[in-house]
Structure 1
Amino acid sequence: MANDLSTPLTGRKRKPGERKPRGFPLARVLLGLIALILGGFVARLALVDDPDGGRPTDEVAITSTRNANSLASDVANGPVTITADPQQYPAGQVPAAAPAPGADRYAALPDLSEETANGPIPRISATGETPFATYATPPETPIVAGQHTIAIIVTGLGINEQGSLDAIDQLPAAVTLAFAPYGKTLQSTVSSARADGHEILLEVPLEPFDYPQNDPGPQTLLTGEPPRANLDKLFWLMARFGGYVGLINNMGARFTASAADFSPMMEELGARGLGYIDDGSSNRSLAPQLAAGNKVPYSRADLVIDTNPAREPILAALGSLEAKAQQNGSAIGIVSALPISIQSVAEWSRALQSKGITLVPVSALMQ
């Protein structure tokens, strides 16, 4: 008879009367625990009248003295009238709104502004007034025949706030100031310039031949783009601040030589009553023809004063500008906002009248 210990487990048969071994009754224990928990929960609900389970509570009246939505309150109390955009009214039929406390009286005039998605941009008023004529600074004395005149334009202002304010303080009011469209304090610096009597231009970045290696800045108007895309950029630039008589190019030799790309921009300036100054950097610019065709007040700069940014070269260049004015009757010079350039122009301007030459805002020399 074989030994039971040597018999394989899988083949082992149970002896007569031998009982099958039992495992641990886990399922019955779990069912019992669940039943016990449910019974305790039901008993608590039935015997304890405390739906919050004993958590501390308090009652506070919800009240408010602040009217967060006055329009909603007005609607709740009765019919209201919502005024439409004043631009939809004919001229003269909308009462002027009272100026806000501390309102800037040198800001753009509402009648000469059109609201866009980027902010207000200049336009001709309903009565035919143009931004060029309205914002132009007249010469201190009327220009007479035979009088020699010079206009100086300072470019690159607005990015450095303190440098811009220093230029405004140091320069005579007849100097025209051109502001780049990227400064964070443009509204205040432009207002300071206008309050001091300066005439204002907006610098607009246009595509040069070596773009993008030479990049005039964000929102540059480019050749080959749809006219609508360039006009959208132009409107963004024009909305940076108000009160300017016109635009002056920043670079743009390629753009100003392309009639297909430059024409829509010049048409827009003519339709909005703005002037245009060509900085004179490109002989291929079509600005004279396009300005004449769109009745845009226009002129071209004769000389960049501070190509060599040092006092003596700057004064020498200003002397050359005087010679041009005496020869041609007038001349326009452009200078950057470098401190040495500002100081040199301020020094030079003090003796200009004694030479028989009058310093005038650039609008006085624009056709």
Structure 2
Amino acid sequence: MARKPASSSSKTRKGTPLRNASRKHKPPHAQSLIKRTVAKHKARKAGRAWARFKPHINKLMAKTLRVPQLGLDLPVVGIMAFVGVLGFAAGAGYWGAQSMFGPTDAVVSASTTRVLIQQTQSPRGVILPEPNGTQPHGTLAYEEKALEEVYDPLHPQAVAPTSPPVEVASAPPPTADIPHDGDKPLWLRNALAFSAPQGAPMISIVIDDMGVDRKRSLHMWQDVPAPLTLSFMTYADDLPAQTQAARKNGHELMLHMSMEPSSATIDAGPNVLMTAMGSAEIRSLANWGMNRFEGFVGVNNHMGSRFTEDERAMRVVLEEIQKRGLMFLDSRTSSHTVGPKIARTLGMPALERNVFLDNDNVPEKVLKQLDEVERLARKYGHAIAIGHPRDATIEVLKTWIPKARERGLAIVPVSTLMKERLKRQTG
């Protein structure tokens, strides 16, 4: 039987657009097969690459380092991993220390005679525990750590022969009249009534940074024999109550005013006086501080190794202190301070610190510094020491002061030294 030729309609169906579309859009199981095939090809390719490196890796893993002292063969890969982890940990630790405490900025060049201060205040306000393990209280306010711990007026350290002479505490007192409100200037009216033994070497112990660490401040005015001169931070809390309690325990009062340190990474506290400020702003902040409480004899600087070198800024502050009839005590956080020179120009009462007691919070170091204080007092007839409410300082002073009196020394408030200078002026 003859075969019928295919109809034109069946030929037409093979070439229809519908048949062509079915070739492009495979069913799901076909697409999945294609993906698996591609993945297998990629895996084979990666396997061939791994096969090229695998012998080298196995060879490295098999290497060991012989340690004869221990009788061990240590894998080189393990040693490298340990060193890497150790390096990472050291880097992380260094970064953390820099983040918390800031970089070390006090670098003293051998070719310069400028004495700067190693700041100890953290920009984050961190207080480290005292050596006896007691936890800190409040916000850190410890003074700058001075490289020039002892200032002997006749032997100024680190001052070049060509430098201008440094004004010293033993210089003649001012000849101009002291501004006052009433019969006496305010510093005299607020001065602690005290009579020093005739002819005895006099030592004034000023305790800075008072009022912030409430616990140690309390121990300082309750446990240490009076009279101390206690200088309270302008930004401490409950200043009227704290200062009245200290005065009732027989201590004299001062105001500790925050001033700009030499390092920009250091936080000297709120409302710190800055050299970049205009005169009006400096006056405003200085008066804010002096309005915080009453009964103090004068002002001394907290930090301020940069600020006290600036003549314009210091003149503005000292003029405001002078208007109130108060005295100024220069903490000497820089050997280039202009405070004494400007105070003399203004004719206002001013003194300078001789010895920092507790840059190192260790009883033996505090005792060594007190030996320097006694040496200067016997040499010149007077000396001013500055300490802080720290454990070592409190414990040492509790026993040192009674023994110093037995040796013929007079422990006096700082106003007594100012009175003695004025007496020498009048003959």
TM tier, smaller = 0.5 to 0.7
**Match status 1:280 vs 2:332:** yes
* 2:231 paired residue among 178, 201, 205: 178
Distance 1:168 1:354 in 2: 21
Matches within 5 A, 1:195-210: 195-210=248-263
CA contact (8 A) 1:138 1:361 kept: no
Residue 297 of structure 1 and its aligned partner are, at CA, apart by 1.5
Question: Helix, strand or coil: the match of 1:253?
Answer: coil
Cross-structure match for 1:325? 377
Residue 311 of structure 1 and its aligned partner are, at CA, apart by 1.2
- Overall identity of the aligned pairs, in %: 29
Give structure 2 stretches of 5+ with no counterpart.
Answer: 1-178, 422-427
CA contact (8 A) 1:280 1:303 kept: no
Alignment: residue pair count: 241
Question: Helix, strand or coil: the match of 1:337?
Answer: coil
Q: Give the letter aligned to residue 204 of structure 1.
A: M
* 1:131 paired residue among 186, 190, 211: 186
**Match status 1:163 vs 2:187:** no
Distance 1:289 1:317 in 2: 27
- TM-score for both structures, normalised by structure 2: 0.55
Residue 129 of structure 1 and its aligned partner are, at CA, apart by 2.9
1:219-259 CA distance string (max 9 Å, x none): 11111321001111111111211110000101112111111
Cross-structure match for 2:417? 365
Q: Give the letter aligned to residue 224 of structure 1.
A: A
Runs ≥4 in structure 1, deviation > 4 angstroms?
none
1:123-177 CA distance string (max 9 Å, x none): 943x2432200111132x3453x42110101111111223222211112221110
Q: Give the letter aligned to residue 220 of structure 2.
A: A
* 2:399 paired residue among 330, 334, 347: 347
Q: Give the letter aligned to residue 173 of structure 1.
A: A
Distance 2:292 2:344 in 1: 27
CA contact (8 A) 2:260 2:268 kept: yes
Question: Helix, strand or coil: the match of 2:328?
Answer: strand
Structure having the higher Rg: 1
Distance 1:260 1:194 in 2: 34
Cross-structure match for 1:303? 355
Distance 1:267 1:242 in 2: 19
CA contact (8 A) 2:196 2:410 kept: no
CA contact (8 A) 1:216 1:251 kept: yes
Question: Helix, strand or coil: the match of 2:295?
Answer: coil
CA contact (8 A) 1:161 1:185 kept: no
Give structure 1 stretches of 5+ with no counterpart.
Answer: 1-122
The structure where helix makes up a greater share of residues is 2
Residue 260 of structure 1 and its aligned partner are, at CA, apart by 1.1
Q: CA RMSD in A?
A: 1.5
